[in-house]
Amino acid sequence: MSTASVRPVAEPDGYRPVTAADLGPGQSRCLPEAGIIVARGQDGQYYAVQRQCSHAALDLDGGRVRGASIVCPHHGARFDLKSGRVLGPPAYAPIAAFPTRVRDDMVEVWIYA
């Protein structure tokens, strides 16, 4: 079996390692296989949100991280990275946000099963 096709196993508490904890403040990384964006806010905290904007179902990959929010690169909708709530139009529906933690230099995300 190829190790490339093996997905990281979730810890017993539901967290799954998804990416190295090597992002600088204000940076993000799209993880298409998990359907999420992992971002590091200006506060140094790691956040994870769904990768699709609720406004036009377009990808948030490449969106600017401002403080603890992410701005959609297509139409400018802004979302809170902590809760997924809308901070600026044209979106009106929130996006999913997921709990994160850093363990052994890896960002782990708890994605609802």
Q: pLDDT per residue over 66-106, tens digit each? A: 999 999 999 999 999 999 999 999 999 999 999 999 999 99
Does the pLDDT at position 30 exceed 50?
yes
Provide the pLDDT for residue 4: 40
Q: 35: left (phi > 0), else alpha (psi -120 to 50), else beta? A: left
For residues 70 and 90, is the Cβ–Cβ distance under 8 A? Answer: no
- Structural domains in the chain? 18-110 (2.102.10.10)
Is residue 109 exposed (0-12), middle (13-18) or buried (19+ Cβ within 10 Å)? buried
Q: Does the predicted model carry a pTM greater than 0.85?
A: yes
Angle value at C-alpha 106, between 108 and 68, nearest 5 degrees: 65
